[in-house]
Structure 1
């Protein structure tokens, strides 16, 4: 809250100060009376290591090395992921411990747009309706109002399409990420008296894959033309290559903000982003002659794949998770004592391979297997006598 207020120059000063003071009070309450922190020191620490805000006797854990504000004075959008991931963990913990009984679904669903969107998709209790609706959220996270209205979505889910966010607009234009198609973040940098516009996806891995561009600031009001900020990323080899994100357009073109809408950030982050990998894995397995099933039993887990038949049949129940902070996913697994939907495989996107050592240790306690999506696809194909690569 405080870091966003400190860096958001579009908000009135009095509102920014009010938010900073409120956040300072919450930090003081957490630190306790024996660990005072002046408002001035609190404000200064917002630009430094997040662990410094904690009392010395509190282990920093995943807060160590995390910065709320980037060196160029911008709020780090990856912290949005951290906040939302913490909410997911806290909901699960509340369900397990509140009054010694499970929390009501209404209490939990109210926490995030994503949960309410899933509820809307599940309401008809129709598997085909659920799959078509969820695929619509993945395939079109933003677009013209007229087109969005025609998507196979109930009204309770369609409300999560909102006008293009201010942070993703330049003048009267927005740009869709070439990977996920959601509006990219727009910022303006000034160096040596020259202003340069930057358009980049809010999801860091997509930026790594090339979803980051520069554009010239025009005085004529013409639509900006994007130029890649770096050379195209090198393509991976081996199992990772099969599900490597496909860039849907060479360079995104400016689209008018008028009469266009986009999913709220929570639905995009927790449905569209991981859904790209889920659907890619489904299509890759199907293209190789297998018969995978997407989100079986109204999303008990993400993929069901059966190989062989009779006594020789092997079943893969797969739940795919895309957490930017693996320790939070590990905590959720511990709270759920494995996978809540009954999956026996936890898959992470290939770009989250660094999380495997931690997740393997935690998941092993509950008999839950762990692999990257690419390696798991290769394992399934190998079991079926097929080639993955």
Structure 2
């Protein structure tokens, strides 16, 4: 599907979500986004022989259905889930610099940094906060308050009630099913009843479930196990913190675990109050690492150029984005202080340099 169609649809979904959440979206801006997206989707359907034109009101109904159902060559993902942009939608919107979830996440993190940078043990507390958020996409409200209040963070900026599409009644109480990969409550498809995570990476890892005699069974390519958790007294992380703290944090933690298996290697996460992601050391050797997972390598290069490093820094991308390495390396140029590797490639690089 053409990138312009994807972008227009994602922008429309973001604007419609802001309208639903009463987040200050102007009526004209919402209608302009819906009108443009409907026109682009209709043009694509006409060119591909995939159905009649879509009116903006019809497009609104389609936003919560997998695009493959109503667009030729469409992705098998929804643009909205429970009225919120999915991770796929956010990835595309991010390329246009129109990502309200990122703004919320940045506000929370900056508040924490302002509080902790003046504390003697602020670096340790910041790392503990990041670890807590990654480990607790679904958490007891009492535990969340105990963690956030000393840092001056607002509860509502970080956590919210588990929404209705994530709930299922079991033995007289509401339960949800956390994603077995990222821990955020999965949503139920309103038509098929299937349960799956919002995250593109989780779906790619086979996190899909269906019902068999009131039991959730995996339908993806891996035998993931999803278990019900009572929602009483529990809250979920806000979409912004889940999207921009938990999901990249999973890659960061996985890389740290793999590096620590190398004898003599020490890894510190989010050093110097998140100046970079991983500080990797072996004796006198040091590697500075930023872990990045971006849909567009060109956009990643643009973001990196905005904050060039003063010392050599390794940008590590997920193994599944190996095809982006050539463009990243060529785009950065031979004089760049950035170097690029996949997670597996960087582990091999450290092992090889230690042996030299």
The question of a shared fold, defined as TM-score above 0.5 by the shorter chain, is answered with yes
Is the alpha carbon distance of 1:146 and 1:225 closer, same or farther for their aligned partners in structure 2, counting shifts above 3 Å? farther
With structure 2 as the length reference, what TM-score do the two structures score?
A: 0.72
Q: Which residue of 2 aligns with 1:127?
A: 123
Paired positions, count: 300
1:370 pairs with 2:344: no
Q: Which residue of 1 aligns with 2:287?
A: 316
Which structure's CA Rg is the greater one? 1
Pick one of 160, 181, 195 that aligns with 1:199.
195
Q: Which residue of 1 aligns with 2:217?
A: 227
Is the alpha carbon distance of 1:128 and 1:85 closer, same or farther for their aligned partners in structure 2, counting shifts above 3 Å? farther
Q: Which residue of 2 aligns with 1:70?
A: 67
What is the CA deviation profile of residues 115-168 of structure 1, one whole-angstrom value per residue up to 9, with x for unaligned ones?
A: 122223322221110111111011111122233334477241644111113443
Q: Which residue of 2 aligns with 1:144?
A: 140
Pick one of 17, 25, 38 that aligns with 2:32.
25
Runs of 5+ in structure 2 lacking a partner?
1-10, 48-61, 71-77, 81-85
How many Å separate the matches in 1 of 2:209 and 2:271?
38
SS of 2:227 mapped into structure 1: coil
Post-superposition offset of 1:212: 0.9
Is the alpha carbon distance of 1:48 and 1:266 closer, same or farther for their aligned partners in structure 2, counting shifts above 3 Å? farther
Post-superposition offset of 1:180: 0.8
Q: Which residue of 2 aligns with 1:30?
A: none
Post-superposition offset of 1:183: 1.4
How many Å separate the matches in 2 of 1:343 and 1:169?
47
How many Å separate the matches in 1 of 2:265 and 2:145?
34
Contact 2:126 / 2:273 at 8 angstroms: preserved in 1? Answer: yes
Q: Which residue of 1 aligns with 2:228?
A: 254
Post-superposition offset of 1:356: 1.4
Q: Which residue of 2 aligns with 1:268?
A: 242
Post-superposition offset of 1:182: 0.9
- Where does 1:340-359 land on structure 2 (aligned, <5 Å)? 344-359=313-328
Post-superposition offset of 1:371: 0.4
Is the alpha carbon distance of 1:49 and 1:343 closer, same or farther for their aligned partners in structure 2, counting shifts above 3 Å? farther
Is the alpha carbon distance of 1:46 and 1:375 closer, same or farther for their aligned partners in structure 2, counting shifts above 3 Å? same
Contact 1:138 / 1:275 at 8 angstroms: preserved in 2? Answer: yes
What is the CA deviation profile of residues 200-249 of structure 1, one whole-angstrom value per residue up to 9, with x for unaligned ones?
A: 11111211212111126x8xxxxx5211113328xxxxxxxxxxxxxxxx
How many Å separate the matches in 1 of 2:268 and 2:144?
26
- Where does 1:38-57 land on structure 2 (aligned, <5 Å)? 39=35, 43-46=38-41, 49=44
How many Å separate the matches in 1 of 2:101 and 2:318?
28
Post-superposition offset of 1:296: 1.2
Runs of 5+ in structure 1 lacking a partner?
28-38, 53-66, 91-108, 190-195, 219-223, 234-249
Contact 1:333 / 1:362 at 8 angstroms: preserved in 2? Answer: no
How many Å separate the matches in 2 of 1:166 and 1:355?
38
With structure 1 as the length reference, what TM-score do the two structures score?
A: 0.66
Pick one of 274, 278, 298 that aligns with 1:299.
274
Higher relative contact order by CA 8 Å / sep ≥ 6: 1 or 2?
Answer: 1
